[in-house]
């Protein structure tokens, strides 16, 4: 399989044409690459709830960000090589995650969004435009720290090759691409993420159940000095007073979905449902915290940009429940979006009617965001496996048997 998906468009400026020509020639000069390798897990898929960890709240059908109608997620996972690091050759333990708020069929319909930085030692491109305009346009892409540039350029090229200019004839984009550092396990300076890998992640998006752990942008990362990665969770939320006027039916349910790329924290900090797990399972990887976390919050509740910024802030509390103090070296960057109000960014008609909800009714959404963020982080740890990377660095996954035993001993588990 090859991933050469770029073509030029008649409205390109000379600078954009040169960029796309470079991407085409650079991609074409390589040998065709196979489909990204599948991560072979050591055990069947096990999520945190399978270990009877007593989370609060009611999850959606898949307990994933894809429970929010329209949201689709895709991955490119890159795993190759072993042994001593040779920069540019590997070992490679990295990848790309793509999140499409309205799916492939409505990629060019922006969503209302809000951004929040808990600690800024990281990168999330495009947020100045989100803050200014209140909209998120196109996909969200997550990768490693030194691949942000190529991923950003590849998103622009992919969108232009598949969508062309907007209604006014402009062909441009300010993509949202975020990162976490995977250099303990991955040849992060080898620049192994290429435009075709970004294209593959976008083209492979789907709804329903999605993979967690060492996949996509979360392939080579570490969380609380256990093997970290991608995690997701969701909550079904009933908001009192919202429904058909005069109806005796239950309040209208909304969905909060969260996806994390969890690469944060020190071992002693790890707390699961109030139990200090990290202090009871000894071990270390780093001398000091060098990680980050990206949190994406999705909902179908009709929220405006300032309300979504409030929602993004609440992800901080879900992160705190797991023990993080958001250290100086951590890039803790959060984005929240709403799939309600389709076509809100359209220029015709010039006056539009927008649905929203009062701030006074948002508490259930705040609660759901905290709960889903907490569970998504724990899922990233539980639904995972040991990994050996560059220079034979080994990071162990959170051991399920030890976790079960700890919860049983402290009577935290219902089983």
List the single range of 281-290, 319-328, 349-358 with lowest mean pLDDT.
281-290
Mean pLDDT in residue range 300-326? 98
Q: Is the pLDDT of residue 388 over 90?
A: yes
Cβ neighbours around 136 below 10 Å, total:
26
Residue indicated by tokens 């609060």 = 56
For the chain, give the percent of residues with pLDDT over 90: 75
- The structure tokens listed for 130 are 């989100």
Q: What Å distances lie between residue 176 and 99, 318, 362, CA to CA? A: 10, 23, 26
Q: Is the pLDDT of residue 105 over 60?
A: yes
What pLDDT score was predicted for residue 193? 98
Residue bearing the bigger pLDDT, 303 or 12: 303
Mean pLDDT in residue range 220-246? 87
Mean pLDDT in residue range 242-270? 82
Q: How far apart are CA 180 and CA 292, in angstroms?
A: 6
Give me the helices (H) in 3-86, please: 14-28
Beta strand 222-223 with 226-227: parallel, antiparallel or unpaired? Answer: antiparallel
Mean pLDDT in residue range 385-392? 97
Q: Is the pLDDT of residue 222 over 70?
A: yes
What pLDDT score was predicted for residue 165? 57
Q: How many domains does the chain have?
A: 1
Q: How far apart are CA 314 and CA 93, in angstroms?
A: 31
User: 324: alpha, beta or left, given left = phi > 0 and alpha = psi -120 to 50?
Assistant: beta
Mean predicted lDDT score pLDDT of the chain:
87
Report the SS3 class of residue 333.
strand
What pLDDT score was predicted for residue 394? 97
List the single range of 269-273, 319-323, 326-330 with lowest mean pLDDT.
326-330
Examine the residue annotation and report whether 332 is marked as an active-site residue of this protein: yes
What pLDDT score was predicted for residue 290? 74
Report the SS3 class of residue 141.
strand
Examine the residue annotation and report whether 147 is marked as an active-site residue of this protein: no
Residue 83 lies in a domain: yes
pLDDT in tens, 8-64: 233 334 444 444 444 434 443 333 333 444 444 445 789 999 999 999 999 999 999
What pLDDT score was predicted for residue 197? 98
Q: How far apart are CA 214 and CA 43, in angstroms?
A: 13
Burial 99-128 (b: 16+ CB within 10 A, else e): bbbbbeeebebbbbbbbbebbebbbbbbbe
Q: pLDDT tier at 166 (50, 70, 90 boundaries)?
A: low
Residue 8 lies in a domain: no
Q: How far apart are CA 217 and CA 262, in angstroms?
A: 10
pLDDT in tens, 200-220: 999 999 999 999 999 999 999
Q: pLDDT tier at 239 (50, 70, 90 boundaries)?
A: confident
Contacts of 344-352 spanning 24+ positions with Cβ under 8 A = 344/110, 344/112, 344/135, 345/109, 345/110, 345/135, 345/137, 347/167, 347/168
Residue 385, burial from CB neighbour count under 10 angstroms (0-12, 13-18, 19+): middle
Q: What Å distances lie between residue 168 and 11, 110, 164, 348, CA to CA? A: 11, 15, 11, 12
What pLDDT score was predicted for residue 340? 97
Q: pLDDT tier at 242 (50, 70, 90 boundaries)?
A: low
Residue 11 lies in a domain: no
Mean pLDDT in residue range 146-170? 84
Cβ neighbours around 362 below 10 Å, total:
19
Residue 15 lies in a domain: no
Q: What is the DSSP string of 70-90?
A: T-EEEEEEEEE--SS-BTTTB
Residue bearing the bigger pLDDT, 168 or 279: 279
What pLDDT score was predicted for residue 39? 42
Residue 191 lies in a domain: yes
Mean pLDDT in residue range 136-149? 97
Catalytic residue among 330, 338, 383, 413, which? 330
Residue 9 lies in a domain: no
What pLDDT score was predicted for residue 31? 35
User: Which DSSP state fits 334?
Assistant: E
List the single range of 29-38, 79-88, 238-247, 358-367 with lowest mean pLDDT.
29-38
Examine the residue annotation and report whether 292 is marked as an active-site residue of this protein: yes
Q: How far apart are CA 335 and CA 126, in angstroms?
A: 11
What pLDDT score was predicted for residue 23? 47
Catalytic residue among 147, 207, 214, 292, which? 292
Task: Output the domain CATH number for residue 271.
Answer: 3.60.70.12
Q: How far apart are CA 101 and CA 110, in angstroms?
A: 8
Residue 2 lies in a domain: no
Q: Which helix (H) or strand (E) holds 407?
A: helix 400-409
8 Å CB contact between 225 and 104: no
- The structure tokens listed for 156 are 């622009």
pLDDT in tens, 93-104: 999 999 999 999
Catalytic residue among 67, 182, 332, 383, which? 332
Residue 197 lies in a domain: yes
Q: How far apart are CA 81 and CA 93, in angstroms?
A: 9
Q: Is the pLDDT of residue 225 over 60?
A: yes
8 Å CB contact between 176 and 217: no
What pLDDT score was predicted for residue 287? 79
Residue span of the structural domain in which 139 resides: 36-409
Report the SS3 class of residue 311.
helix
């Amino acid at each position: 399989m090859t991933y050469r998906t770029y073509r030029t468009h008649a409205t390109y400026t000379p600078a954009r044409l040169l960029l796309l020509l470079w991407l085409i020639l650079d991609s074409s000069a390589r040998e065709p690459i196979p489909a990204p390798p599948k991560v072979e897990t050591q055990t069947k898929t096990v999520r945190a709830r399978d270990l009877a960890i007593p989370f609060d709240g009611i999850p959606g059908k898949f307990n994933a960000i894809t429970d929010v109608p329209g949201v689709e997620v895709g991955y490119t996972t890159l795993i190759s090589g072993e042994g001593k690091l040779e920069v540019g050759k590997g070992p490679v333990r990295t990848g790309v995650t793509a999140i499409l708020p309205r799916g492939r069929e409505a990629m060019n319909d922006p969503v209302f969004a809000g951004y929040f930085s808990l600690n800024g030692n990281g990168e999330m491109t495009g947020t100045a435009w989100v803050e200014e305009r209140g909209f998120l346009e196109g996909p969200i892409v997550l990768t490693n720290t030194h691949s942000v540039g190529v991923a950003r350029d590849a998103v622009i090229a992919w969108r232009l090759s598949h969508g062309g200019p907007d209604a006014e004839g402009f062909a441009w984009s300010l993509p949202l691409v975020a990162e976490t550092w995977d250099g303990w396990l991955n040849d992060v300076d080898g620049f192994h993420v290429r435009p075709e890998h970004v294209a593959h992640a976008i083209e492979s998006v789907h709804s329903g159940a999605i993979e967690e752990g060492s996949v996509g942008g979360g392939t080579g990362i570490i969380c609380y000095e256990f093997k970290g990665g991608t995690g997701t969770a969701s909550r079904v939320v009933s908001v009192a007073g919202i429904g058909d006027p005069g109806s005796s039916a239950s309040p209208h349910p909304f969905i909060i979905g969260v996806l994390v790329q969890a690469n944060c924290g020190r071992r002693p900090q790890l707390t699961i449902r109030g139990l200090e797990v990290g202090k009871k399972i000894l071990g270390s990887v780093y001398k000091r915290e060098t990680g980050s976390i990206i949190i994406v919050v999705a909902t179908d509740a009709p929220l405006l940009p300032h309300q979504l910024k409030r929602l993004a802030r609440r992800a901080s509390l879900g992160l705190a429940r797991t023990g993080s103090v958001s250290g100086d070296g951590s890039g803790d960057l959060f984005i929240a979006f709403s799939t309600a109000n389709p076509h809100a960014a359209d220029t015709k008609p010039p006056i539009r009617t927008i649905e929203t909800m009062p701030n006074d009714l948002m508490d259930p959404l705040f609660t759901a965001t905290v709960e889903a963020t907490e569970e998504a982080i724990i899922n990233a740890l539980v639904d995972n496996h040991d990994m050996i990377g560059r220079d034979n660095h080994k990071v162990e996954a959170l051991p399920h048997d030890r976790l079960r035993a700890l919860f049983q001993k402290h009577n935290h588990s219902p089983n």
